[in-house]
Structure 1
Amino acid sequence: MPTPDRGKGAALNTGVLRASHEIVVRLDADTVFEPSTVRRLVEPFAAPSVGATSGNAKVGNRHGMLGRWQHIEYVMGFNLDRRMYDLLRSMPTVPGAVGASRVTALRRAGMMSGDALAEDTDITMALHRAGRDVRYAEHGVAWTEAPRSLRHLCSSGTAGATAPCRPRGSTGTRLSSGGHAGRFGRVGLPLLAVFQILTPLLAPLIDLLTLYGLVFGDPLLTALAWLGVLAVQGVCAAYAFRLDGEPLRGCGRCRCSRSCTGR
């Protein structure tokens, strides 16, 4: 009889339990590593406190409007955030597309949960609660294939790469906890609430207020305020692209696991 499908978490746990070495590196099926990526991912493990490392995921198939939008989202929304979280020692997620973990740390943290919305954020938070450090290896580059159409986008998990709400991950991480878990609770979780929940919810409100100001208020002042918001976003985008070594014009390099016509 065929073995029932127990999900991705159970598959990852099987691989970890059968691993014969202390460090495991994982990637998605639609992801391609740079030649030096594995080395970059494992370098931080020279420190015994490190339990996992997050790599730098980039969109490979960035041709077309949707691909370029997702490329911008990865550079600004993911990789820029990871640099900030790494500086604050509060990394919330090791993405499944490119990451490494210490086997003993995974076992002590409870392994991958099968009832979480996404096992990557769940286990990362569990590692924090266990007192382990999670670092960002920005030079550990992986090229992943983003959804190529709106239909694929709606049915994929790309948008959940930084989602903050995870059943087991948030449970037990308290603001009053001591040590590394307490720092993550006091710094990491509030930042997730602000930048991953509150800010996206307020974004449509800015557009509504802009329309209201143009019709019922001072059109000039409203337009200047709206342009000011765009200017701040533009400066942040330029800074993020510079840190990631990406060109501001054009789609840049395409490194797809499948055929790509964008250059």
Structure 2
Amino acid sequence: MKKLLTSLLFAPLLALASGPELHLDKAPVSTEPAALQNGAKLFVNYCLNCHGASYMRYNRLQQIGLSEQMIKDNLMFTADKIGEPMRIAMQRDEAKVWFGAAPPDLTVISRSRASEFGSGADWLYTYLRGFYRDSERPTGWNNVVFENVGMPHVLYELQGEQVAKVEEKDDGHGGKTKVIHLEQGKPGTMSKEDYDKSVADLVSFLTWMGEPMAETRKSIGSIVIAFLGVLFVLSYLLKKNYWKDIH
């Protein structure tokens, strides 16, 4: 009985150890308007077909330097008014039939992944560059970060097709861990450097979308800390002057 309980307790850990080793690349997240604007364009053209951003309204894109007319002419394909949320037409029930699960809303996907993996931007950056051909999957694609993912590689025309080379190595605990190395197969329309830059822009936009006021919050925080620092010095000098005659 004791052995049974022990095996049940450690079974999830053993299953995790036997899976592929997870390595996240550092995402070069940018807050520059040009990067965020390119990321918004990629998001609308490649992601918004299946994934909504229902907590983000089109008019908030003016915060990254786009005019109202630019948004209407280039980014609004699923809405009539600029104040509408970035929703999709696909119904959740239909999505479950087609993909096995409804594609998640991406408004706060970066913050959501951060709660699981420490850095949502790093996870997204590695994920979007980690697709490879897998004939055993229904979509023909798999991913080094999200094994057996149901999502096809929507950016494959840009990146091309990657091929996985799998090897097993000792995990240091008497078990084996799977390591996947990706090699470029059929080339895409972009070079590796250009594709990585485009993905970085898309991840930057997804990160911004999760908290559009992040830079403002950081600026206000810096001002508050500076104010408290000055107040501390003045308080110390006041206290020193108040107690000088007593000591």
Judge same fold: TM > 0.5, yes or no. no
Q: TM-score band (shorter)?
A: under 0.3
Look at both structures and tell me which one has the larger radius of gyration over its CA atoms.
2
- TM-score, scaled to structure 1: 0.22
